[in-house]
Amino acid sequence: MSLLTPDLLRRLEQFQLLAARRAKSSARGERRSRARGQSVEFADFRTYTHGDDFRYLDWNLYGRLERLFIKLYEEERELPVRIFLDASESMAFGEPRKFDFARQVAAGVGYVALCGFDRVSVIPFPEHPDETVYRGALRAVRGRKSSLTFFQNLNRLKAEGAASFNDALRRGALEARQAGVAVVLSDFLDPAGYESGLSALVGRGFQVNAVQILSPEELNPGAYGDLRLVDAETGSVQEVTFGKFRLKSYQQAVANYCQRLKEYCTARGMHFFSVSSETKLEDLLLKQLRQAELWA
């Protein structure tokens, strides 16, 4: 499948990721850092000491104070962007499939970051031994010239198997050399919850953006009667009777779950988005994420 249309790619090229915290990476990029260097962004002055480069003396300040000062500049650094992609069996559910929509969002976020020369890593979970090559190629991708290969490797990923949401995020937080922007794409329906995984990213210093993706069938079921439900990841079976009169109760339970997730995220400084897999990709990427100031 084609992840992004040429028109959407052109529109995304106009954006740049916004980081609430300045990047601390040691690699040069297009992001301001607290490190002092010789870029065009002025930062501060300091007193001249023997051996300093005369080219950075501020002669205007010397004329007023008769003291020598060196001009300091903010060096540009790259912004690490880590995209946690839920590739468990439950994400293969729905029409359109939740996983297909999640990959498109990952492609959009990744492309904006690559155009800004930030370093992008996609971390799919759970582990799939037959995807080792693709997954390895999705780590630490940089530069717009890498976008075609980036999209191809995203397209090769499959949604299968059972995942531990919390373990995947905790491991990703520990593996990261520097904090940056984290985007979590999942249905957030892990029986073990989501709290410890998201908290690990926040505790590590990441600017976290949680995107919950649910299918139209999960939001508004169309099947009624005596049903035999099979968990896509564990294989456990549950027989239920689902009548039309219970639809409102079900929808309220889903709404309550999503609201609790939203409150958990916002209380800890995370951006939260809840969308259907049939949402127009442009609405999420060009409107919702922009309004939340993920990029501008």
- pLDDT, one tens digit per residue, over 227-252 is 565 666 666 777 666 666 678 888 89
What DSSP designation does 66 have?
S
Query: Is pLDDT at 57 greater than 80 in this prediction?
Result: yes
CA–CA gap between residue 273 and residue 18 (Å, rounded):
17
Q: Mean pLDDT across the stretch 61-83?
A: 77
Residue 216: left if φ>0, alpha if ψ -120 to 50, beta else—which one?
alpha
Please tell me whether residue 181 adopts helix, strand or coil conformation: strand
In this prediction, residue 22 has a pLDDT band, given cuts at 50, 70 and 90, of very low
β-pairing verdict for 207-214 and 271-276:
parallel
- What single letter denotes the amino acid at residue 266? T
Give pTM, 2 decimals.
0.80
CA–CA gap between residue 101 and residue 91 (Å, rounded):
10
Query: Is pLDDT at 70 greater than 60 in this prediction?
Result: yes
* Degrees to nearest 5, angle at CA 137 with 172 and 30: 75
Please tell me whether residue 76 adopts helix, strand or coil conformation: strand
Contact in structure between 184 and 172 (CB atoms under 8 Å) = no
Put the strands of the sheet holding 69-77 in their side by side order. Answer: 28-37, 69-77, 41-47
Contact in structure between 89 and 233 (CB atoms under 8 Å) = yes
Which tokens is 194 given? 């989501």
User: Which residue ranges form the domains of the chain, and what is each CATH number?
Assistant: 6-22+78-215+273-291 (3.40.50.410), 30-77 (no CATH)
Q: pLDDT at position 247, please?
A: 80
Q: pLDDT at position 77, please?
A: 61
Q: What percent of the chain has pLDDT over 90?
A: 60
Nearest to 120 by CA among 143, 102, 154, 104: 143
Q: pLDDT at position 36, please?
A: 43
Buried b (16+ CB within 10 A) or exposed e, 111-134: bbbbbbbbbbbbbbbbebeebeeb
Contact in structure between 108 and 4 (CB atoms under 8 Å) = yes
